[in-house]
Chain A
Amino acid sequence: MSHLTEKKVLNIRTGRLTSAQNIKGFLGAIRKKNREINAILYINENAIAEAELVDRKIKAGNAGKLAGLAIAVKSNISVTGMPVNCGSKTLENYYGTFDADVVAAIRKEDGIIIGMANMDEFACGSSGESSAFGATDNPTAPGRIPGGSSSGSAAAVAAGFCDVALGSDTGGSIRNPASHCGVVGIKPSYGRVSRYGLVDLSMSLDQIGLLANDVYGAALLTEVISGKSENDGTTITGEVPKYPQLLNKRASGLKIGLCGEFEVMCSDKRIYGLIAEAVGKFADATKSQIKLVKLPHVDLAIQAYYPLVYVEFFSGTRKFDGRKYGQKIEESCGEEVLRRILGGKEISRAEYHGTYYRKALKAKKLINEGFENAFKEVDIVISPTTPMLPHKIGTKITDPKVMYAYDAYTIPANLAGICAGVVPAGKIDGVPVGLQVMAPAFGEEVLLRVMAAIEGENADI
């Protein structure tokens, strides 16, 4: 396990590094490199003053769990007084009127919001190229896409602009960029983290999650943002486990599930080879057993996902009518957003009742049942994160389905409502490749422990 964030937390708490110094360091890096990377759209001008207040709390001995850490926030999560533009011209002048539940939780634990991160427009993308504020570059593989839609959040972590970052994941929008940028990403279970304050893409699938440099940082932020909220009726009651402490309990004797279908779906076989090698290494080190599992209909994940997203996105965007929040969306958005709105409008019509959305719901249910059955036999399921390496920025992709294919491995977890995370597994041609771990709903403890063990095995990459 990497101890980067754990050491940072300790250094701040013991005064070897002040919160203000930590924030100043990141602000310096942003000023130096953000022009090229374009990960951060807005800097919190009060960040240093807020850090100085935290330093006083540390001296007084009453600082929170995130004391002095810098957190970047994806631009579709509401922060009071900061632009929540969703990477779109539609909301270019919209400023948050309240703190999302996750932001309030971070502030309560003395984390510092360092700024707002770039993203694919309204989270409708997998490459980080569709923001109205320009594409984000991949700091780990310059010239290539960082992945999306939480492109700025992943790039900000990878570039050293923050300690951790918030993102949102509807079909892979945290895990896909985590893999491409070589960082850790977590999509918590549906209902684990409140979505109050998130500008929705598809409310039955959306989940706020995070990106970090290491599994410890991911565990720490997961603990802080998890829990029941009166503002989000999908959140579940019950005590949130202390995830960072549980990482010390080493994963061993597990049953690891691999699915044959995942190998077929991998268009770049080198990726599957690298993942299989990492799984073997992990199984040997933890005396775990590898088992083949069946996940029926998982190959239909993309086909089930997009009708749900088109319809729910169309419905969700009706509020952007130009009255309350800025411009009318159809008159100010980019291609992919408009495609989804027009498609959603078309298939929402009464005469199509049952043809698209209901069929997709059936497939969703079957995929969910497949995972429930698989988790009776294994503790976790492992897969690649994306079937191909990130393309070069600006590559012309005319068929939207080619872009949709990036999320073939990540969408199933959203459809099933389970938790999933990505941890770096190695590199191919100098480009990072992430390994995806999927665990049962509300099984974040086992998810994080497995990710920590894999991180430990790959400490040299």
Chain B
Amino acid sequence: MDAGKIKPMSTTVGGAQSRQRLGNQAKTIMDEFAKALERVENATGEAGIERDEFARKGKALKSDGEFQKRMLKNAPRKEGGHIVAERKSW
């Protein structure tokens, strides 16, 4: 059994209308949650991350010669040893 053979079902969301609906729904949920969280507004100071360790000791990672080969295998578009990225497509 290989996932390459198992094809995913069509779960993709299609159409601008569906995207709009989901976006609106997400915003409504977030607004509702933010309103509920108002009760903690003045209950505490700013949240932050506290850590004792500021420097890490240890050996640097060694590069793996095979890694680039495996990485390129996953890229849909490549040229020589590079992944092709189109400007403005993102």
Are A346 and B74 neighbours in the complex by a CB distance under 8 Å?
Answer: no
Are A300 and B9 neighbours in the complex by a CB distance under 8 Å?
Answer: no
Are B12 and A42 neighbours in the complex by a CB distance under 8 Å?
Answer: no
Question: How many whole Å from A4's CB to the nearest CB in chain B?
Answer: 26
* A80-B70, A324-B74, A324-B75 known; A346 vs B23 contact (CB < 8 Å): yes
Are B40 and A359 neighbours in the complex by a CB distance under 8 Å?
Answer: yes
Are A400 and B19 neighbours in the complex by a CB distance under 8 Å?
Answer: no
Question: How many whole Å from B86's CB to the nearest CB in chain A?
Answer: 8
Alpha-carbon gap, A356 to B33, bound state (A):
8
A360 / chain B contacts, CB cutoff of 8 Å: 33, 37
Are B74 and A342 neighbours in the complex by a CB distance under 8 Å?
Answer: no
Are A362 and B1 neighbours in the complex by a CB distance under 8 Å?
Answer: no
Chain B contact surface mostly:
loop
Alpha-carbon gap, A77 to B17, bound state (A):
34
Smallest CB gap from A346: residue in B: B27
Count residues on chain A whose CB falls below 8 Å from chain B CBs.
70
Are B22 and A342 neighbours in the complex by a CB distance under 8 Å?
Answer: yes
Are A97 and B30 neighbours in the complex by a CB distance under 8 Å?
Answer: no
Are B30 and A342 neighbours in the complex by a CB distance under 8 Å?
Answer: no
Question: How many whole Å from A134's CB to the nearest CB in chain B?
Answer: 6
Alpha-carbon gap, A40 to B3, bound state (A):
9
- Tell me, yes or no, whether A326 is within 8 Å of chain B by CB: yes
In chain B, positions 38-83 with a C-beta closer than 8 Å to chain A are: 38-41, 43-44, 46-47, 56, 58-59, 61, 64, 67, 70-71, 73-77, 83
In chain A, positions 17-50 with a C-beta closer than 8 Å to chain B are: 30, 34, 40-43
Are A304 and B12 neighbours in the complex by a CB distance under 8 Å?
Answer: no
Are B25 and A40 neighbours in the complex by a CB distance under 8 Å?
Answer: no
Q: Given known contacts A307-B33, A359-B37, what 13 new A-B pairs fall within 8 Å (CB)? A: A41-B6, A80-B70, A85-B8, A89-B11, A95-B73, A230-B56, A306-B30, A307-B37, A334-B12, A338-B22, A340-B26, A343-B27, A364-B47
Are B83 and A93 neighbours in the complex by a CB distance under 8 Å?
Answer: no
Are A233 and B40 neighbours in the complex by a CB distance under 8 Å?
Answer: no
A366 / chain B contacts, CB cutoff of 8 Å: 40, 43-44
* A95-B74, A230-B59, A400-B29 known; A300 vs B47 contact (CB < 8 Å): no
Smallest CB gap from A330: residue in B: B19
Are A303 and B37 neighbours in the complex by a CB distance under 8 Å?
Answer: yes
A97 / chain B contacts, CB cutoff of 8 Å: 67, 70-71, 73-74
- Tell me, yes or no, whether A331 is within 8 Å of chain B by CB: yes
Place the interface of chain B in its size category.
35 or more
Question: How many whole Å from A31's CB to the nearest CB in chain B?
Answer: 8
Are B1 and A343 neighbours in the complex by a CB distance under 8 Å?
Answer: no
- Tell me, yes or no, whether A310 is within 8 Å of chain B by CB: yes
Alpha-carbon gap, A92 to B10, bound state (A):
12
A203 / chain B contacts, CB cutoff of 8 Å: none
Are A310 and B3 neighbours in the complex by a CB distance under 8 Å?
Answer: no
B59 / chain A contacts, CB cutoff of 8 Å: 230
A301-313 vs B, Cβ < 8 Å mask (1 yes, 0 no): 0111011001000
Among B1, B23, B59, B71, the most chain A Cβ lie within 10 Å of the Cβ of B1
* A97-B71, A333-B12 known; A358 vs B47 contact (CB < 8 Å): yes
Question: How many whole Å from A281's CB to the nearest CB in chain B?
Answer: 36
* CB-contact partner of B13 in A333, A346, A358, A401, under 8 A: A333
Alpha-carbon gap, A271 to B2, bound state (A):
39
Are A342 and B34 neighbours in the complex by a CB distance under 8 Å?
Answer: no
